[in-house]
Amino acid sequence: MKSSASRDVKKNTLKNFIKENQGLLYVMPWIIGFTLFGLFPLGMSVYLGFTEWPIIGDPKFIGMQNFINIFNDPTFYVVVKDTLSYAVFSIVLGMTASFFIAMLLNTEIKGLSIYRTIFYLPAVVSGVAVAMMWRWILDPKFGLLNQLLANFGITGPNWLGNTKWILPSYIMIAIWGAGGGMLTYLVGLKDIPQELYESATIDGAGWWPRLVSITLPMMTPILFYNMIMNIIGSLRQFNTNYILGGKQFYMLYVYNNAFKFSKMGYASALAWVLVLFILFLTLIVFKSFGAWVYYEYENKEKAKKVKKR
């Protein structure tokens, strides 16, 4: 009797626990996965950043020496310069291209869905496939781009072999993929009240005044979001750089130190320097948030408060 009663108590306790923690049980697979494949590697990379570890053997704790070596490494500054140059041009030109593509696709024209699909296609194609395609396009002898230039009597350069043309080649690839950010801009453009444009047109405002006074202010939340994502994405450029080569951007530099030169501790320190730098840039952008990002609902709330007074 006692054993059966204790079993019932245990069953009821288990049932109550499951009832009370159903939400936790549903997300438990994600928690386990994040711990094993996210949190644990993150913690290991922090630890390895303070060690010397040639992958084979045990890590040897060396304190801050890896970080000191980073800032004494001349290659580090060359890599940072090339990465920042790429990031600045790709962010500015990529965001501008995405914005104007979205504006073009926000008009009522025939075959609009087809155009949207074509422009968005680079965002869904594998990064490796895109890099291989551009490797063929930029080939100095048999590449599509140089073949097209030859039709106009122009001898195309060695895009990835000439130091003057490597960065423009990567920027060209970044602009080609600008359709990926188009969707968020398109959603933002659809949310702008048409009454604002109608009122501006009645007042005699042309295309440019409407763009500057209505479209851009209303799109600033989307611009803010895309700027953050583009900063992170451009500084973490790897797939295309790994396959095409030419220049060594930061992530490829980390990879080479880890798996080519077997300096896993140094590579971990490099990775955390990048994390801190991205965090620093992101905080700067967030600090500037109030100066240029416009939210319509915030202005409505302010207007209500003024009326109440």
Same domain, 255 and 115: yes
CA 293 – CA 224 distance, rounded (Å): 7
Q: Where are the beta strands (DSSP E) in 77-158?
A: none
Same domain, 44 and 81: no
Which amino acid would we find at residue 32? I
Residue 63 domain-assigned? no
Same domain, 15 and 160: no
Residue 188 domain-assigned? yes
Same domain, 93 and 37: no
Q: Which two tokens mark 68?
A: 């000191």
Neighbours of 198 (CB within 10 A): 10
Nearest of 209, 207, 214 to residue 193 by alpha carbon? 214
Same domain, 27 and 80: no
CA 175 – CA 234 distance, rounded (Å): 12
pLDDT for position 306:
38
Q: Could you tell me if residue 111 is left (phi over 0), alpha (psi between -120 and 50 degrees) or otherwise beta?
A: left
Directed axis angle between helix 112-124 and helix 182-191, to 10°? 140
Residue 18 domain-assigned? yes
pLDDT for position 275:
93
Number of structural domains found in the chain: 2
Same domain, 102 and 250: yes
CA 204 – CA 153 distance, rounded (Å): 47
CATH at 213: 1.10.3720.10
CA 309 – CA 305 distance, rounded (Å): 6
CA 244 – CA 221 distance, rounded (Å): 34
Residue 53 domain-assigned? no
Same domain, 206 and 262: yes
Same domain, 133 and 180: yes
Q: Residue 60 forms beta bridges with which residues?
A: 52
Residue 155 domain-assigned? yes
Same domain, 13 and 79: no
pLDDT for position 8:
56
CA 205 – CA 43 distance, rounded (Å): 56
pLDDT for position 47:
92
Residue 68 domain-assigned? no
pLDDT for position 12:
65
What's the distance, Cα to Cα, between the start and end of the chain in Å? 73
Residue 261 domain-assigned? yes
Same domain, 27 and 102: no
Q: Which two tokens mark 225?
A: 């979001």
Nearest of 131, 97, 98 to residue 238 by alpha carbon? 131
pLDDT for position 231:
92
Same domain, 95 and 44: no
* φ, ψ (nearest 5 deg) of residue 51: -130, 165
Neighbours of 217 (CB within 10 A): 15
* Helix/strand number for the chain, H first, E second: 18, 2
Residue 102 domain-assigned? yes
Same domain, 23 and 146: no
pLDDT for position 64:
92
Domain residues for 40?
Answer: 2-48
* φ, ψ (nearest 5 deg) of residue 205: -75, 135
Average pLDDT, 10 consecutive residues per value, the chain (309 residues): 56 69 80 87 91 89 92 93 93 91 83 81 81 89 88 87 89 86 85 86 86 88 90 90 89 93 93 94 89 67 45
269-287 pLDDT per residue, tens? 999 999 999 999 999 998 8
Torsion of CA 284, 290, 295, 300, to 10 degrees: 160
